[in-house]
Amino acid sequence: MFLTTASRQARSLFEFLRGLTHTAHPLLVQMIPIRRCNIDCGYCNEYDKVSAPVPTDVMVRRIDQLKALGTSVVAFSGGEPMLHPDLDDLIGHIRARGMMAGLITNGYFLVPARIKALNRAGLDFLQISIDNVTPDEVSKKSLRILDRKLQDLKAYADFDVNINSVLGGGIRSAEDARTINTRARQLGFSTSIGIIHDESGRLKPLAAAERKVYDEVSAAINGPWQVVKNLYSGIRSFQDNLADGQPNEWRCRAGARYLYVCEDGLVHYCSQQRGYPALPLDSYTIDDIRREFATPKSCAPYCTVGCVHRVSTMDFWRRPQHAVDRRRSAVAGRRLSERQ
C-alpha cells in the first residue's frame, strides 16, 4: 500500500509539473463508457435507463487517442460507469498507456471483491458524491445506503478516495452535508463540498441554513490536518460566489485542459454544455486544444462544474482569452443534433 501511494504521488507530481510547463494537452478527461444508471436522482440530467455500454474496442481506441493528445488523467463517469462489463480492463489500458485512471461512481456496486479488482486494474482515485443521509425523492445516493461501502473502501482500497457532499439542487437537509463530510473524514478519506444545479442545470443561491453549513464544512476541509489530503478538492474559492448566486470572473479552459467525451465519442466542454464544441475525439487535434484554451465560454460566470474550475486553476495566470472563429464547432454541433 505504501509503495502504491508513493508511486501515485510521484506520478501526480510529474503531471503537475508537466502541466505548468506545457499548456497544449488535457489535464483531465472525463469519459462516458455507458449512459445508463441504476438509480435516478432528481437533479441529474446525465443518465438514462436504456443505453448499452460503449463497445470495449471503441473505448480502447478513444483511450489511445487521449494518449496521443498527451492527456494526464482519464476518469470514467456516467451514467454509472461500473455498469460497463469491461471497466477493469479499460482502467488497466489507461494505466498501460501511462495515464492516471479515475472513477466517478454512485458507489452501489462497491463490494470487497470489486474493490480488490479495481486495485488490480490500477485505479488511482475514486469519487463518490453522497447527497443525503436518508434516501428521498431527490436522491438515492445516501449515507445510510453507502456507509457499508465506505467501510469496505477503508478496508480494501489501494486507491485514493474522495467523498463529496452537496448543497442546493433540491437537497432537503443542509445538515446532511455536515454529517456526510464528518463521516468521510473519520474514515480517512479526502472530502469536498459542492453546490449543485437543479434538474434544469440552473444555479440557485444557498439559503441561510445552507450557507452556514457550507462555511463550516469548508473550514473543516481546509483545516490544519486536512490541507494535504484535500489539495485538489480544497480549491473551492469559486464556490463562495456561487453560494450567494453571484458570478465568478475566471478563464474556463474546457475543451483544452478539461475534456468531456460522451458515449458518442464527441468532445464537449462539460456535462452541462453538451453540444459545444461537439467535435469527434478521433479527429481532435492540438490545434483544437490551443483554440479552446484561448476561447472564452459564455457559461463560465455561473458554472457549478467543480472539476473544470479546479483544472482551470492551473492556468489562471496565463494569457487572456479572446473570441475565435466558431464555424467548425457550429457545424459539428448541427451534426450532433441531426444524429439525436
pLDDT of residue 326: 47
Mean residue pLDDT of the chain comes to: 88
The per-residue pLDDT for 145 is 96
Domain range 2-339, CATH architecture: Alpha-Beta Barrel (3.20)
Nine cell digits for residue 335: 451534426
**What distance in Å separates the CA atoms of residue 44 and residue 28, rounded to the nearest whole number?**
22
Amino acid at 275: G
Cell readout for 250 is: 475566471
Q: 139: exposed, middle or buried (C-beta count within 10 Å: 0-12, 13-18, 19+)? A: buried
Higher pLDDT, 273 or 330: 273
The closest of 239, 244, 230 to 305, measured between CA atoms, is 239
Residue 204 has pLDDT above 80, yes or no: no
Q: What average pLDDT does the segment 201-214 reach? A: 81
pLDDT of residue 116: 98
10 sits in which H/E element? helix 2-21
Per-residue pLDDT tens over the stretch 82-129: 999 999 999 999 999 999 999 999 999 999 999 999 999 999 999 999
Choose the weakest-confidence range: 105-109, 228-232, 293-297, 331-335: 331-335
Residue 44 has pLDDT above 60, yes or no: yes
Ranges of each domain in the chain: 2-339
For the stretch 320-335, pLDDT in tens is: 887 664 444 444 443 4
What pTM was estimated for this model as a whole?
Answer: 0.89
Angle at 28 between CA 210 and CA 162, to 5 degrees: 45
**How confident is residue 156, by pLDDT bands cut at 50, 70 and 90?**
very high
pLDDT on residue 239: 86
